Structure 1
């Protein structure tokens, strides 16, 4: 099927690649079908693109590439909702807030997007763990090594 996209113009996507979010994504409850598209040559950045609304596209990352200690437990209701049968089927992304300059961009670790890659179902999960919030610095700030004389 052909879809219009925010960053890739018009594309043909396979039905098998469409991820279904039964209740949409928070704030976009009516948007229930998305596809993941590449966004960078290094494969660190992708786009979660709505099938029906071309301008609705989120820049996403695999959080484990940037936040090695990131860890959480999925509530059983989520496991059931997206029909997870095996841990191997779980794919986790986080949505970025892209800033200018890009080095100031942040990741929302409080609300990961969890996808069952086997069944192509997904859900954005809001975690209640106090260690995660909506704006984790994606790139650590560089500290000055210059000494005052």
Structure 2
């Protein structure tokens, strides 16, 4: 499938990269089909792009939150598991939306509302967690002088 993007130009996207968000993403409910692209060609980076197939200018920069916050926890309730048809936890990919203003060292990630993707069914949704996480957590934790001693 060919899609036009503001960031990457025209792209040929394979079907297995397409993701459906049945209810869209909050605030963008009318856009339901996205393409999940790894930030590198080897699929080794914790970074991804989620490009809308319906709106060329709509692209999210995402990261694997566990790569930056190893103690991060996402508890999926039965409703989410059923909605996304997740039968095996290995089917669930959890990604956080990044906000980058300036350089990556100042980027923040939304740990409060991660994207949950069923990699087998290629469906997803944004989930607002009950846990006490912030929407603007630093991507790269600052190391204070006390911590480095």
Ranges of 4+ aligned residues in structure 1 off by more than 6 Å: none
Q: Show the counterpart of 1:134.
A: 135
- The normalised TM-score by structure 2 is 0.90
The separation in 2 between residues aligned to 1:140 and 1:85, in whole angstroms, is 34
Q: Which runs of no fewer than 5 residues in structure 1 stay unpaired?
A: none
Q: Show the counterpart of 1:113.
A: 115
The separation in 2 between residues aligned to 1:64 and 1:76, in whole angstroms, is 22
Do residues 21 (structure 1) and 21 (structure 2) align? yes
Corresponding residue pairs, total: 144
Q: Show the counterpart of 1:35.
A: 35
Q: Give the secondary-structure state (helix, strand or coil) at the position aligned to 1:16.
A: helix
**What are the residue-to-residue correspondences of 1:88-127 with 2, within 5 Å?**
88-127=90-129
Q: Show the counterpart of 1:59.
A: 61
Cα distance, 1:144 vs structure 2: 4.8
Q: Deviations over 1:97-119 (max 9, x none)?
A: 11213211000000010000000
Cα distance, 1:142 vs structure 2: 3.8
Alignment root-mean-square deviation, CA: 1.5
